[in-house]
Amino acid sequence: MANVSKRKLNKEKKEIPIFGLGTWRSKPVKVKETVKHAIDVGYRHFDCARFYENEPEVGQVIQEKIKQGIVERADFFIASKLWVPT
């Protein structure tokens, strides 16, 4: 697994990886393979949004990796956004 620099969160003992994988403009089929590989090489920080139209696929991969015992949910930092139309 890659050794990624991390930063401490305020008043928390947890550290967040300074690099994350962005999923914007990633097609659902392609994003699944990308996220699988990213987890395998050490990514634990993912940027998602409903607007990207691939959150279900990202979630499926994360759930698969958890079920396989490769990672735990507590290992991940998932950034998401609310889309408010104007």
What are the residue numbers of the active site? Answer: 52
- The Cα 65–Cα 61 span in angstroms is 6
Residue appearing with tokens 């015992």: 69
Three-class secondary structure of residue 68 per DSSP: coil
Q: Which amino acid is at 51?
A: F
Distance between CA 72 and CA 66 in Å, rounded? Answer: 5
